[in-house]
Structure 1
Amino acid sequence: MTSLSALQSAIDKAGPGDEIRLADGSYSAGSAIAIKRSGTANAPITITAEHVGKAEIKGSTGFSFSSGASHVVLRGFKLRHGGSLSVPVGGTHNRLTRLDVQLTGGGNWVTLNGDDTEFDHNVLQNRTTQGVFLQVLGPAKDMAKRVKVHHNYFSNHGFTGSNGGESIRFGLSHHQKYSAGGVVEYNLFEKADGDSEAISVKSSDNVIRYNTIRDSRGFIVLRHGDRSVVEGNILLGRSGIRFHGNDHKIVNNYVHTTANRGIVFGSGNEADSGPDSKLHDRPDRVVVAYNTVVGTTDAIHGDGGDFKPKDCVLANNILQGTGKLVSMPGGSDVKYEGNIAWGGPAGMPSGGYKAVDPKLVQDGLYRLSSGSPAVDAGVGSYPYAGTDFDLQTRSGKYDVGADELLPGGARKALTKADVGPLAP
């Protein structure tokens, strides 16, 4: 296709298995490019640029999915138009892939409301206004289910206000008790400075794993919701992890920070949040285990609040820094065991740690050396921490910290070559 009118005509006639290509060039859309047709699981409709990043959509608007449009792949376009891009409730099993998104309007750029949406190998970058790069929502009284966000590049969100500039927002406050089952993995965030929350989770039962956040003020934050897993992420620079809510697992993460506060037990303004509350829920029954936090005062920090952490666990972490390593408010109910603290006052009960040099060696990231006292030193039973941050399987007695000393498999922080439209 060599015009938007021809593209629209082809989309209107498309059936399962059809592939519609737009030739390289720059196109201005004065009205929405409507996607109303559906493919099938085995034969999706594919709407694609002839070459990735070479077909540019400008103008006042762009592609628009209709409710019910399902099994559609949107691929390879350079989006520079006004408005936003949204997959509505009722559209399922759609895939948005290898898009270059830098919209000209304000508001939230991409919204995923449909179940089983896949959002992968895209780049979203360069904005200074309030609004998120990507949000996952769903119906008014539920969440979009099983949305998968992976291998994307989120860069340079420079909004300077106090709130509303997240890179990813997974739900809103009133979604917090709804189970989403979403996965956010293998994404790279750089200069995620538009909000203190780079990844803001406000729903339940999600997995945030294997992402890299570099040179960003935004944290991974479980702001609302319960039973989520934060696993195997690499956080470099000013970023860290903060959580509120119940029954989360924070395991096998690597935090090397130049600021204070690596992993934060969030403040509690109430014991348990109601379904529509916007207050901070006290952390209950959260396990923080087998993480490595290096280079910070307050490697583990508690924000306090009227309601302190309850029935939580801090176990088998390596905490290495230059100041007090654990700062929890009085009245916190935390079980400490098996931690290694080095470089500053531990801030933990004496039975909950060993003050020994973990003998970390650096190959880009700090890892265990063969003589480390962390080897085979894990205590307690934490089977959900059975894959270390190199994605290698632990066995026997686990090594303390995020790294299991095993041959091969040394993982690196993600780079731009690993993510986005041109990545493998």
Structure 2
Amino acid sequence: MRILNLLLMTTAILLMVHMSSNLAAKEYLVDTPQAYQDIADQLKPGDIVKLKNGVWQDFEILLQAKGTEKSVITLTAETKGKVILSGKSNLRLAGEYLEVSGLVFKNGYTPSSAVIEFRRNKDELAYHSRVTEVVIDNYNNPDKQESDYWIALYGRHNRIDHNHIVGKRNKGVTVAVRLNSENSQQNYHRIDHNYFGYRPTFGSNGGETLRIGTSHYSLTDSHTLVENNYFEHTNGEVEIISIKSGKNILRNNVFFEARGTLTMRHGNGNLIEDNVFIGNNVPHTGGIRVINRDQIIRNNYLEGLTGYRFGSGFTVMNGVPNSPINRYHQVDNATIEHNTFINVKHIHLAAGSDKERSAAPINSVFRNNLIVNEQGSHPFSIFDDISGIAFSGNVSNQSVPEAIKSGFSIKDVELRKPDLDILYSTPDPVTAGAKRTAPVLNKAQTGVNWYPKTLAETPFNTGAEHMVQANVKTLLSTIEKAKSGDILVLDAGTFIVPKLISLDKTLTIKAKQTGTVTLAFERTALFEITDGGNLMLEGLTLSGQYSPDAAGNSVIRTQKWGMLNNYRFVMQNCIVEQLDVNHSFHFFSTGKGAFADSIELSGNTFRDVTGDILQLNSEIEDLGIYNAEYVTLADNTFSRVQGAIVKLYRGGTDESTFGPHFSMTNNTLDGTGKGKRNKQAASIYLHGVQVTDISNNSFSDSAPIVLEHTVGEPNSSITNNVFKATSAPVIKELRVNGPHTAIVENNTIETGDKR
């Protein structure tokens, strides 16, 4: 009885202490940055600070205090989602048991190295702290090449969860786990239930969505847990997640139509399990890339992935013998088991094999995996010796290469989709592949429920239609008032535009009847695409007749410098003429730093042009940066063009991007590329382009195609073209010894010879 009484008294005392501490806690509602500063250094365990609803401009928040496990110090919004941090604002946490929630960062950018940082400085870090239900929406430095993080994790035992993170456009990792001090290693951070939305193609290295560690600290263990996150259209570069440390767990995450891969770039002993990759056959959607030692990849589901090489559906890399810490360590003791691959186009084994990367995988297993391809062929490519991978218990519905045949059963596999939203084999006796007992993570379970997960960009022709009379004043007024996605339909007539039309919205401008509308202009350009701008032209005649008598005019240009947003340009069934009032009159010119997701020209006629048609070569510093991801020319006619039809340039040795991609089919070129100012002496000049298809075109009295291979494994094809009074294509390998790797066949060269 005495012991029982003592226990009851102790419990009562502890309860009283806890109640007294809660009674001592305060709640503050602050309405200005100064009001926050006045109480910031007084915060005690259990205190709650609420920021008053409204827009807080240029507010750099430091939350530095010490809470306890049971009495966390909280910074939040008066109403979640109603506190907007804009301008040059950021947040730093330092101390213990801190929690921040309900804030929105938009319409600005961080003045420091991170929007949210779990430290005050290199010595004062955060521990056992949490950022939850925070939104970071297009909060980008206006200088696209200025690098920053959106969230930088330091310290130990911190958590970021249920955040909405979308639209990072400038250089730098979206979320970075930093291991650059002893107190940030073996950190046991948790990253869960976040919505990672659209990250546009960056066009060079530096576009990862999540990175855990760096190569310098990659032999250090991080113990970071990444689970139940949704990655949608995170397209920044080839590595969506870059693991550069050891002993991390990544599980139950969904990658939806995301270009790139989950990459174990450095570090050992990572566990990748129960993740879902849905590509829906979107170009360059990838899965998992394996490098280093002791990696476990199990029970993952991968469907409809189209990526290849380092961005394939599944890649096991070759390593560098005695590799330096920042290169490629040999794959050793990898366990790859019970994964499902449905309509995955490419599984690459011993990928990257070359004179440097000559260390093939060893001591590894590939077992009990299910591979189903409905396209009628297997997905495997083998680039080196794979005897160091033991294959067993795998099932495929297609025959597989002889080198791995003993590890596979070839079976007809029927697929069904029960309530779990992914495909399973039937009948049930097929035991290979991933086993799931719970539904796939739903997007609605991630991020916040009070901020919309909207489309990343406005498609063309989705808004209102405006009829425009043949009057310049009416045209300019309608453009100014139009909303993104709108269509302007022009009556027959000639519009002589007296000023530059600057576009920061998605617009379609078309003729009511093709061939009856002429747009001419009196400035050095007709259209300038600026941040947020996308342009589609249809059925118009574009004339340079009234342009200034000066060199370097253009019909369309992008913002000359500092463009942050990617753009799209489409032109169909138009006539472009009289770009000859002076020399170097170009049709389309890119500014420095501008990046096109796509440029499409189809069914157009170009004649009498003293410059280039598409100038996409402003990035000449050879840093892996380029100006356009997809350039497509189909069914166009080019006559008397003194410059090149396209100049597309990607320099440097970086391998973290997919493009550029160039497609040119069914075009006619007559008298193109022979102007004395065309320094490349080419009708088509492609440098460092990764994917090229030039087919079924007719070249007459024109300069040759010049194709320069630089880095990676470019996929180039020049086929079924006719070259009359035009030299054969010139193909150069600038970084690899030996013959060129392009496919050049079935072309007719002047005399009727086929090459």
Normalising by the smaller structure, the TM-score range is: 0.7 to 0.9
Aligned pair 1:134/2:166, yes or no?
no
Q: Where does residue 256 of structure 1 map in the other structure?
A: 303
Q: Is contact 2:215–2:326 with CA below 8 Å preserved after alignment?
A: yes
Deviation, 1:64, is: 2.2
Aligned pair 1:108/2:149, yes or no?
yes
Task: Tell me the amino acid that sits aligned with residue 97 of structure 2.
Answer: H
SS of residue in 1 equivalent to 2:197: strand
Q: Where does residue 146 of structure 1 map in the other structure?
A: 188
Q: Where does residue 350 of structure 1 map in the other structure?
A: 405
Within 5 Å, which residues of 2 pair with 1:405-424?
Answer: 409-415=437-443, 417-422=444-449
Provide Cα deviations, 1:90-139, integer angstroms capped at 9, x if missing partner. 32111011100132325222111111110101011112221111000133
Q: Where does residue 123 of structure 1 map in the other structure?
A: 164
Aligned pair 1:47/2:75, yes or no?
yes
Q: Is contact 2:56–2:84 with CA below 8 Å preserved after alignment?
A: yes
Deviation, 1:281, is: 1.2
SS of residue in 2 equivalent to 1:110: strand
**126, 130, 147: which one pairs with 1:91?**
126
Q: Percent identity?
A: 25
Aligned pair 1:4/2:33, yes or no?
yes
Provide Cα deviations, 1:125-178, integer angstroms capped at 9, x if missing partner. 112221111000133466351010000011111142231111101000011111
Q: Is contact 1:240–1:257 with CA below 8 Å preserved after alignment?
A: no
SS of residue in 2 equivalent to 1:360: strand
**358, 362, 366: which one pairs with 2:417?**
362
Normalised by the length of structure 1, the TM-score is 0.86
Provide Cα deviations, 1:299-356, integer angstroms capped at 9, x if missing partner. 4543133111111100000011132333233322110000001135355533211000
Provide Cα deviations, 1:185-225, integer angstroms capped at 9, x if missing partner. 00001111111111110000000110000111121111000
RMSD: 1.9
Deviation, 1:421, is: 2.1
Provide Cα deviations, 1:338-397, integer angstroms capped at 9, x if missing partner. 00011353555332110002322124311133x2441xxxxxxxxxxxxxxxxxxxxxxx
Distance 1:282 1:174, change over 3 A: same
Normalised by the length of structure 2, the TM-score is 0.49
Q: Where does residue 240 of structure 1 map in the other structure?
A: 287
Q: Is contact 1:336–1:353 with CA below 8 Å preserved after alignment?
A: yes
Q: Is contact 1:299–1:320 with CA below 8 Å preserved after alignment?
A: no
Higher strand residue share: 2
Provide Cα deviations, 1:222-250, integer angstroms capped at 9, x if missing partner. 10000000000000111200011100100
SS of residue in 1 equivalent to 2:96: coil
The structure with more radius of gyration? 2
After alignment, is 311-320 or 153-162 more displaced? 153-162
Q: Is contact 1:270–1:279 with CA below 8 Å preserved after alignment?
A: no
Structure 1: how far apart are the matches of 2:273 and 2:247? 13
Q: Is contact 2:255–2:278 with CA below 8 Å preserved after alignment?
A: yes
Within 5 Å, which residues of 2 pair with 1:187-336?
Answer: 187-237=229-279, 238-260=285-307, 261-271=312-322, 273-274=323-324, 277-299=325-347, 301-303=349-351, 304=353, 305-321=357-373, 322=375, 323-332=377-386, 333-336=388-391
Q: Where does residue 401 of structure 1 map in the other structure?
A: 433
Aligned pair 1:162/2:204, yes or no?
yes
Within 5 Å, which residues of 2 pair with 1:74-89?
Answer: 74-80=100-106, 81-83=108-110, 84=114, 85-88=116-119
Task: Tell me the amino acid that sits aligned with residue 52 of structure 1.
Answer: K
Q: How many residues align?
A: 387
Runs of 5+ unmatched residues, structure 1 = 375-398
After alignment, is 34-43 or 165-174 more displaced? 34-43
Higher RCO (CA < 8 A, seq sep 6+)? 1
Task: Tell me the amino acid that sits aligned with residue 113 of structure 1.
Answer: Y
Structure 1: how far apart are the matches of 2:329 and 2:179? 22
Runs of 5+ unmatched residues, structure 2 = 1-29, 280-284, 451-755
